[in-house]
Amino acid sequence: MLTILVAGATTAVASEPVLTEDEVVQVREFFTQWDVPVATQDVLLDGLQEGELWDAYTGATPVRVVTESTAALNRTVTRYADGSVSVNEVEVPTLIPDGAILPRAISGCTQQTNAGVKYATNCRVYHTTGATSAEFYASYSIWSTGASVSNWGKARVLYDLGNVVNARFEQTSAGEIKYKWDSQSLAGTYARNLRLTATPSGVTSGGSY
């Protein structure tokens, strides 16, 4: 768990460094993975240590959003004017033929179709900014005129910029579930959430950090 920070506010003065040396290494690895220049990393990390929030935390308008799909996951990479990045991922289910028994070698996120309804089970939803990260698992059903989510669980805040309290799930509609928590720091308490939304056209995820 990361140490004290202002999260969800505009700017504040940190009473001590927000990130430890190991955490700075972790964040730099994330930035390097997503091609953030070292000079930009320096500015972002220096600002964060002083209590300045990245655009990825403030709800700023992105400058670029790219959606990528592989056999394993659907990923959305969102980039902001200050150089910060957020990454959303939803696991792609392994397709099981209609009527087939699930092979013992296959576990995790799977999908079968019955009477025109696609049933996906136990699929991972994940979001990170490099300094805040969370995940949960859920099932969803999709058909031509609707969608629903179910069986959500195994939620974790992997790391955050404040103390995590009041973690819970909230179903906002038949097709949407949010894993919500509050991040507490000396500057106050700030709401976070990670969502999965299912519609007839597919599923999307997102994080409000």
Kindly give the confidence (pLDDT) of every residue in the chain, 209 residues in length, as a single tens digit, with 9 standing for 90 and above. 443 333 333 334 445 667 888 889 999 999 999 999 999 999 999 998 888 889 998 889 999 999 999 989 999 999 999 999 999 999 999 988 765 555 444 458 999 999 999 999 999 999 999 999 999 999 999 999 999 999 999 999 999 888 999 999 999 999 999 999 998 876 567 899 999 999 999 999 998 88
Q: Side chain identity at 114, as an amino acid letter?
A: N
Residue type, 122: N
Report pLDDT for 178.
Answer: 98
| DSSP bridge pairs for 114 | 117
CB-CB neighbours of 107 under 10 Å: 10
Give CA–CA dist 128/156, Å, rounded: 12
Which structure tokens are listed for 55? 């655009």
Tokens standing for 97? 């033929």
Beta bridge partner(s), residue 89? 75, 126
- Single out the residue of 86, 17, 22 nearest to residue 54, CA to CA: 86
Q: What is the b/e burial string over 26-56, where b = at least 16 CB atoms within 10 angstroms of the residue's CB?
A: bbbebbeeeebeeeebeebbebbeebbbbbb
pLDDT value of position 108: 83
